[in-house]
Amino acid sequence: MATPSLTRLLLPLLLVASIAACVAETPASPSPAMTDAPTASPTTTESPTASPAPTGSPPVTPPPTTSPSPSPSPSPSPPDGVTSLAQAAALVLDSNPMFLGIGPARGDLIGQCCWYIASDNLDHYRVDVAVGWGDCPSGCINEHRWAYRVDHDRTITLLDEFGDSPVEAPPQTGSGPGTVTIQAVAGPVCPIEPFPPDPACNPRPVAGAEVVVYAAGGVEAARGLTNDEGLLVVALEAGGYWVEGLDVEGLMGAPEAVAFSVGAGGRMAAQLTYDTGIR
């Protein structure tokens, strides 16, 4: 039997041996250096291969990155055919140099050497033109007339011609553009036209009316607004034209269009008459 002093010496040794045995039985934890690291990515990567299109289907083309430029707006084009009496008359006045300086016939024709009258015959228009000479302020001693048919496709056909010959056409001695004065008026002003005429009942000027002038072929030649006196002055090359007035607030629609022709360097006047609705 061991003595107490010997026992005190052996206990530390037994304790150390017991701890060593426990350490030997416990599996060692892996060192951080020994842990399996994930496989590193290669320094160079291959471009991904595009997936092939399904069998039998065409490859899809990606849309363009920029939008196409919009198409320009088409320029206004003249009408394909004749659509009004005024245009029919303008075509006839433009067809003969002897008709330069002619406007519509006035009611009495006194003092008017040259004029036209247009009428609608459903499937075509008729335009009559007269040229007079010799003391025309008193009614003209001589006169020559033409009658034309104007179809809607712009075909002009001479139907008849008669009168004094040789024809003395109005002189055309100027050069450059002609000057055309367009006047817009509105009437009637009085419910009843007095007799004798009262100047207070004369048609009144229409200010600010938009007026459009067309060449015989239908192309717009001039546009503008009438002044406080109802006047618009435009410069036009020699030829036949017609003029239209647009609607004006307070008046009953647009006036009847009027045709006229102007010579080189000449002067011409045309009047547009609006309806006031006064009766």
Residues contacting residue 204 through CB under 8 Å, at least 6 positions apart: 185, 186, 187, 189, 230
CB atoms within 10 A of CB 242: 26
**pLDDT value at position 169?**
81
Phi, psi of 193 (to 5 degrees): -75, 115
Q: Residues 116, 107: contact at Cβ < 8 Å?
A: no
Topology (CATH) of 178-275: Immunoglobulin-like (2.60.40)
| Amino acid sitting at position 257 | A
Residue 241's beta-bridge partner residues?
A: 215, 260
Separation in Å, CA 163 to CA 49, 102, 140: 94, 18, 12
* Backbone torsion region of residue 56, taken as left when φ is above 0, otherwise alpha when ψ lies between -120 and 50, otherwise beta: left
| HSE, side-chain direction, 13 A CA sphere, residue 153 | 2
Nearest alpha carbon to residue 274 among 243, 251, 244: 251
CA distances from 70 to 64, 67, 73, 74 (A): 15, 9, 9, 12
CA gap 250, 228 in Å, rounded: 16
pLDDT of residue 49: 44
pLDDT (tens, 9 = 90+) of the chain, 279 residues, equals 444 454 455 555 554 454 444 444 444 444 433 344 444 444 444 444 444 444 444 444 444 443 333 333 333 445 578 999 999 999 999 999 999 999 999 887 788 999 999 999 989 999 999 999 999 888 899 999 999 999 999 999 999 999 999 998 877 778 899 999 999 999 999 998 888 888 999 999 999 999 999 999 999 999 999 999 999 999 999 999 999 999 999 999 999 999 999 999 999 999 999 999 998
Q: Where are the domains positioned within the chain? A: 85-163, 178-275
The pLDDT value given to residue 79: 59
How many whole angstroms separate alpha carbon 194 and alpha carbon 161? 41
**How many Å separate Cα 233 from the centre of its chain?**
24
- For the CA atoms of 191, 194, 200, 201, what is the dihedral angle to 10 degrees? 40
CA angle 142, 146, 151 (to 5 degrees): 165
* CA 175 vs CA 11, 215, 236, 268: distances in Å: 144, 19, 12, 14
By DSSP bridging, strand 178-187 and strand 267-275 are parallel
Report the alpha-carbon distance of residue 249 to residue 271 in Å, rounded: 19
